Amino acid sequence: MTATTRTQFGDFLRSRRKKLSPDDVGLNGGRRRRTPGLRREEVAELAGIGVDWYIRLEQGRAVGPSEATLDALAEALRLDKAEAAHLRALAHRSEPRAFARESVPPTLARIVASLALPAYVTGRRWDILACNAAASDLLGFDRLAAQDRNIMIYMFIEPEARRLFGAHWADEARRMIALFRTSHDLHAGDPAFVELVERLSSSSEEFAKWWSAHDVRSGASGQKTFAHARHGMQRYEYATFQANDDPALKLAIYTPVDADVV
């Protein structure tokens, strides 16, 4: 792990530890605690590792936890599948390339433009790199300034997203943060990611609060409900696909759920 990744690894351990209570893991809580969560020595005991070693991991000072240690930590902290995968990804991450905004291959761009269904392509920082007319009509991406064409900026800074998602905005926004975290932590420290998170944190109280929870999740498909200004309530299924030319590129396609949604 790099120094930055070790910090993210330690921050993630700490965030999961603080979410657990002694009752969650079958321990006697004893006297009332001044801070929430398990103690470091309790996690170390549950994982079967030394307290000093665990402290070094959480402080970002230790390098190279073994697969057995990662398995033990995942079990001790009651990590779900997405959280355990994120822990392993951080542990195995080498120095990433400096971020550069991706470009969409012409063939993929033409395919997206030709689709009747809403479709768009994003990169590893969730920049919106291409979108078709149907996606612009549904989501309003074409109204964003070129430098603001980013899913997280759209969701947390642009008023259009709050109007479009309506009562579902908070749930969808928290889901997006947890998904984005899995990408961000592998590029933490890169100026492009730092700048984006700083802008989001200063512009949105909700983002700053939910980002500090350090939640992660996986998911490439699902449903979204929109309160569209012209078309009324819209419900879509969506799925995302990685591009073979560049796995950092993801194609999202939306399909209407109800027959009367056009």
Question: pLDDT (tens digit, 9 = 90+) per residue, 217-255?
Answer: 887 788 999 888 788 888 999 999 999 888 889 999 999
- Domain residues for 18? 3-92
- If asked whether residues 189 and 88 sit together in one domain, one would say no
Q: If you average pLDDT over residues 79-91, what whole number do you get?
A: 88
Query: Domain containing 131 — which CATH number?
Result: 3.30.450.180
Q: Which residues, in sequence order, are CB contacts of 121 under 8 Å at separation 6+?
A: 104, 108, 109, 112, 128, 129, 130, 131, 243, 249, 250, 251, 252
Residue 48 lies in a domain: yes
Domain boundary residue among 45, 64, 92?
Answer: 92
Residue 100 lies in a domain: no
Select from 25, 247, 22, 24 the least CA-distant residue to 123. Answer: 247
- Number of structural domains (the chain) is 2
- If asked whether residues 116 and 87 sit together in one domain, one would say no
Residue 173 lies in a domain: yes
- If asked whether residues 68 and 110 sit together in one domain, one would say no
- If asked whether residues 113 and 215 sit together in one domain, one would say yes
Whether 204 has a pLDDT exceeding 80, the answer reads: yes
pLDDT in tens, 167-197: 999 999 999 999 999 888 888 888 999 999 9
Residue 202 lies in a domain: yes
Residue 101 lies in a domain: no
pLDDT in tens, 126-181: 999 999 999 999 999 999 999 999 999 999 999 989 999 999 999 999 999 999 99
Query: Domain containing 51 — which CATH number?
Result: 1.10.260.40
